[in-house]
A = this chain, B = another copy of it.
Amino acid sequence: MTPEVSYVIDTFFAIFSFVLIIFMVPGFAMLEAGLVRTKNVTAVLMMNTAIYAIASMSFLLVGYSIAFGDFGSDHMSKWAAFLFQMAFVGKVINIMSGGVSERARIFPLALFAIIMSALIYPTVVNWSWGSDMLKDTFLDLNMYDLAGSTVIHSTGGWALLAAILIIGARKGRYTPTGGIRVIPASNVPLVTLGAFLLWIGWFGFNGGSVGSISSKESADAVALTIMNTNTAGLAGAITVGIMMYIRYKKLDITMILNGALGGLVSITAGPDLYNIYQPILIGAIGGMLVVFAVPFFDKLRLDDPVGALSVHLVNGIWGTLAVGIFASNPAEGITLLGQIKGIVVIGVFAFVSSYIVLFAINKIIPLKLTTDEQMEGLDVNECGLEAYPEFKRAF
């Protein structure tokens, strides 16, 4: 294949992958809008829109250079390479913002989004995928993380953990007597639509992360990556479905979709390394982890309306470990130890830096809405308009 053909095809493929990832923007927005109460839906949609706008712009102006040095790429158009990388940024912040829905103010979160996308995330990328400023230091990472189980999902998850610790739970979520008040999803079709848009976006996320499709080997790698990605999602959904059915004889679709997403996160570190059956096991464990993690975080009083800690943090870690377990290959530098080191170094950095930044922002502009504002709903207070003004609310 001539270099020009390869350049053209890889550019086209990067654009294709970018577009798929951008479907995750409405994907996250619909998922979260469906999971929160009707009085907070507009605010959630606004936050998702703000994240895409702000994070992408910050990455364009500052973050990309921190992560990769200059704009540039030999084997595809540098603009396509940028677009593909840019598509990732918002996801990290989405993970965080989703988990603090229904009580966090948009404006200070938007400030955090700027710092996350301009500094924190680019630094993580620099260490893992980019120009690697840690090279030759003792922190130098050689974790294998194809599409970001750690770099994207855990990083977002750690930031969320910091945010929940600082912001606290939604008013009324935990009763003084130690009970947990269930706050059900308000719009299940939106949840389902959002989950499937995310799922489809994942094909671009992971498939595109192979970096090239323009040789027989890389075409195989891309196709295998997408196939394994999908398989892990299937396995996550099925596992949670079976667990739900055995336990309750009821199929809670929100949990099952979270199981699918958990499976997808868990495969993300190494979908190109596995055979076609390993993802079944990895995804199934990913799904199970969600089922156990959701009530576990509730027991810790970490209020996470969309289950983002369980899906992204827990499975981000599991997925990165899974590479070390199932695809360890010391000859190519892939070891369980290297994976663990990556998880820890990035985890510490992501959590600590997010905590500091959120703590500082919280001092200046409180992140949490007052009880009255939460009662009335974020939509009216933060956005000035309701999501469904003509639909009668069933108190």
**Residues in A lying within 8 Å of B, measured CB to CB:** 1-2, 4-5, 7-9, 11-16, 18-20, 22-23, 25-26, 29-30, 33-34, 37-38, 41-42, 45-46, 48-50, 52-54, 56-57, 60, 76-80, 82-83, 106-107, 184-190, 192-193, 196-197, 199-200, 203, 207, 213-216, 218-220, 222-224, 226-227, 230-231, 234-235, 237-238, 241, 245, 248, 250-254, 256-257, 260, 276, 280, 382-394
Q: CB-CB < 8 A to A1: which residues of B?
A: 2, 4-5, 8
Are A38 and B234 interface neighbours, CB within 8 A?
A: no
Are B9 and A383 interface neighbours, CB within 8 A?
A: no
CA A42 – CA B187 in complex, angstroms? 9
Q: CB-CB < 8 A to A186: which residues of B?
A: 388-391
* Shortest distance from the beta carbon of A386 to any chain B beta carbon, whole Å: 7
Are B82 and A227 interface neighbours, CB within 8 A?
A: yes
CA A174 – CA B42 in complex, angstroms? 27
Q: CB-CB < 8 A to A382: which residues of B?
A: 250-251
Are A83 and B26 interface neighbours, CB within 8 A?
A: no
Are A200 and B19 interface neighbours, CB within 8 A?
A: yes
Q: CB-CB < 8 A to A7: which residues of B?
A: 216, 219
Q: A4-B215, A9-B9, A393-B394 are known contacts. Are A15 and B53 too (CB-CB below 8 A)?
A: no
Query: Which residue in B37, B49, B56, B223 is a CB contact (below 8 Å) of A230?
Result: B56
Are B29 and A196 interface neighbours, CB within 8 A?
A: yes
